[in-house]
Amino acid sequence: MSTNLPKIAWIGLGIMGSPMSENLVKAGYDVTGFTLEQDKLDRLTAAGGTAAGSIAEAVRDADVVITMVPASPQVEAIAYGPDGILENVRAGALLIDMSSITPQTSVDLAKAAADRGIRVLDAPVSGGEAGAIEAVLSIMVGGAQADFDQAAPIFEALGRTIVLCGPHGSGQTVKAANQLIVAVNIQACAEAVVFLEKSGVDLEAALDVLNGGLAGSTVLTRKKDNFLHRDFKPGFRIDLHHKDMGIVTDAARNVGAALPVGAVVAQLVAGLRAQGDGGLDHSALLRAVERLSGARI
């Protein structure tokens, strides 16, 4: 690894965080990681990274700290307090939060960090587990241009579409819109799948031709096999999409934007979660449509 590259601390090694941190190791970065699961730390070590025993240990010598955790409460838990990032990272470091959280949480974090001389970018991603593994994520960023420019090489090791969307919180606002579009798209695909199957059409052939026209989408490309084989192993869990639909509907209400279709899909996601499917991939919205259509699941 190059000694000219910044030293990175990575906090949160889940479905997305593990492959993303490993891609930085492959790109030559010195990555020290911390998470609560020992097997995830072992995975990072096997990939060439370093495991830390605490947040403080992970961030102490870091030039850049990257966080990838489930939601706002987890971001606040790792950022604040005597054992958190802000108390233990050196002044001048860059904190990049790649979690999907509320825009206000990102704004508040940036303000608290600035008081300690720490710069912050909110940089949530889209592309799911496959995009993380393949380093083709879309990365939507909020923060200062100079900080974005410094972080650009890191982002380029993780994704393909990398855009500074505006000031702090802007990345999270764009991510909320992304999650709205994805959820509505999955729901539409799920309804089409049930309609096609009940009509006796060859589903695989139908999805192939649909994906070649205006109805085609990254969702349909990525989730086609999930639909065909009812494979709902989580790439992005319903639980997390439920959280994100709460973020977008709340943020939209605050700015006076009506989301009539989004509100319905948010309730469908909530209903699926209430039925015990929160740990499944969000393509499992198909299960809800099947239940409504009389299937016994």
Q: Is 175 marked active-site?
A: yes
Which one of the listed residues 175, 223, 224, 243 is annotated catalytic?
175
Residues 6+ away with beta carbon under 8 Å from 106? 97, 120, 122, 142, 168, 169, 171, 172
Cβ neighbourhood burial of 57 (10 Å; 0-12, 13-18, 19+): middle
Across 8-34, b (16+ Cβ under 10 Å) vs e yields bbbbbbbbbbbbbbbbbbebebbbbbb
Which is it for the CA torsion 205, 211, 212, 215, positive or negative? positive
Strand, helix or coil at 10?
A: strand
Residue positions counted in the chain: 297
Strands 119-122 and 94-97: parallel
Strands 137-142 and 125-126: antiparallel
- Widest CA span of the chain, in angstroms? 63
Give me the residue label for tokens 């909320």: 176
Round to whole Å and give the CA distance between 246 and 132: 24
Radius of gyration over alpha carbons of the chain, in Å?
Answer: 20
Could you give the residue numbers annotated as active site? 175
